[in-house]
Amino acid sequence: MFALRHVNTKYEARNTPVFKDSDPGFVPSKPAFLLRESIIALTYYLLLGLMAQRPPSPNAPQLFDESWISVFRRLGEVTLPQLRLRALSIAGFAVTFWALIRGYAAAAGTITVTLGLNELRDWRPPFCSLMQAYSLQNLWGKVWHQNLRSLLTGPAAKITYDVLHLRRGSLPAHFSSVIITFALSGIMHSYAGVAAGMSPKQLNVIHLFITQALGVVVEDLVRLGFLKATGQGSKKGKNDTPSLAHKIIGYLWVVAFMTWSGPVWLYPQASKPTSLGINSSFVPYSIIKAWMMGDVRAG
């Protein structure tokens, strides 16, 4: 999966994280890499095992009922506890999959580098710093893993330029590419959900990903409008480091947007009670579970 980033080749996925942001060419020593990745793999293994031991909420169908997904259609009814639940649910979902992807990457990197199957320099981190998440474009294009980027942006570019014949560098071409990329990602994640046994009706993945694309489009339009209003060039500001005030506004925007948009995907899944006897853990064997039950075979 991580080979899809084509690290250290001319096809390397854009915004693939580096080992050290302050020194993009830095590569750690083998002992330092193995020590760090081993600690990360063990930490996330234990965290995932611990999270799996939390009993499912008995009133999940009521807490995550689909009628709670909409916000704007029931503005007068939305309460602070509901907003808090939305935010915490999305945060918990993100932490779980961050730990899953980062933990498995660390374990795979440790094993393959130790055995000499891969070069250390090719095992760059899957995620960028969360400090970069002051925009949706950064959240999905830098912070989150770029493992699928080449698979998605290639077809999106083909459709944008060769099928729709939009001019390269134009706003319509940029927005088309963004929307198509997210739509393709939604389709891919939908198939993954169905393969995992979920009903297509409870996924809403494409809805979520198209919403993210529209959020990115809104960001770009606001940025361009701001630059035009202040007399700055349209290209200026996109890659410049924003001020602290702009970052704080950006963080609040991202949190608010994800709190609003995330439940359309998460709530239909969270509302389904877990059946007894079903292993909901992401690890094949949990030492945490074995320890809590006092039986090594129970993990």
- Is residue 262 classed as helix, strand or coil in its secondary structure? coil
Of the candidates 40, 23, 11, 288, the residue with the CA atom closest to the CA atom of residue 151: 11
pLDDT tens, residue by residue, 74-90:
888 999 999 999 999 99
- SS3 label, residue 273: coil
The predicted structure's pLDDT at residue 1: 61
Reduced to 3 states (helix: H, G, I; strand: E, B; else coil), residue 10 is coil
176: Cβ contacts below 8 Å, ≥ 6 apart: 156, 159, 160, 164, 166
Q: Which pLDDT tens digit goes with each residue over 119-129?
A: 999 999 999 99
Q: What is the mean pLDDT of residues 187-212?
A: 84
pLDDT tens, residue by residue, 125-155 = 999 999 999 999 999 999 999 999 999 999 9
What burial class does residue 222 get, using C-beta atoms within 10 Å of its C-beta: 0-12 exposed, 13-18 middle, 19+ buried? exposed
Cα separation values, 242 from 225, 236, 245, Å: 16, 11, 8
Q: Comparing C-alpha atoms, which of 229, 227, 232, 187 is closest to residue 209?
A: 187
Instruction: Give the mean pLDDT of the chain.
Output: 89
The token duo for 205 is 């993945």
Q: Which two tokens stand for residue 158?
A: 């083909």
- Which tokens belong to 291? 């320890």
Least confident of 29-38, 124-133, 239-248, 266-275: 266-275
pLDDT at 277 over 50: no
pLDDT tier, 299 (very low <50, low <70, confident <90, very high otherwise): low
**Residue in 204, 248, 258 with CA at minimum distance from that of residue 87:** 258
Distance CA 168, CA 111 (A): 43
% pLDDT > 90, the chain: 68
| Residue whose structure tokens are 């969360």 | 130
Residue 218 has pLDDT above 70, yes or no: yes
- CA pair distance 262, 253, nearest whole angstrom: 14
The string of pLDDT tens digits covering residues 249-272 is 999 999 999 999 999 999 988 887
The arithmetic mean of pLDDT across residues 94-118, rounded, is 96
Cα dihedral 140, 141, 143, 149, rounded to 10, equals 90
Q: Which of 10-24, 27-41, 142-156, 196-210 has the lowest mean pLDDT?
A: 196-210
Residue 276 has pLDDT above 50, yes or no: no
More confident residue, 4 or 251: 251
Higher pLDDT: 205 or 232? It is 205
* Helices of type H across the chain: 30-52, 60-63, 80-114, 136-138, 149-157, 171-195, 205-229, 244-261, 263-270, 287-293
Section 52-75 average pLDDT: 86
Contact 282, 274 (CB under 8 A): no
Residue 275: the pLDDT is: 54
How many Cα atoms occupy the beta-carbon half-sphere of 171 within 13 Å? 11
Question: Is residue 182 very low, low, confident or very high in pLDDT (cuts 50, 70, 90)?
Answer: very high
Top pLDDT among 289 and 271 is at: 271
* 36 compared with 268, residue with greater pLDDT: 36
Task: Supply the pLDDT for residue 273.
Answer: 65
| Dist. CA 161–CA 75, nearest whole Å | 41
Look at 223 and 1; give whichever has higher pLDDT: 223
Q: What is the average per-residue pLDDT within 95-108?
A: 96
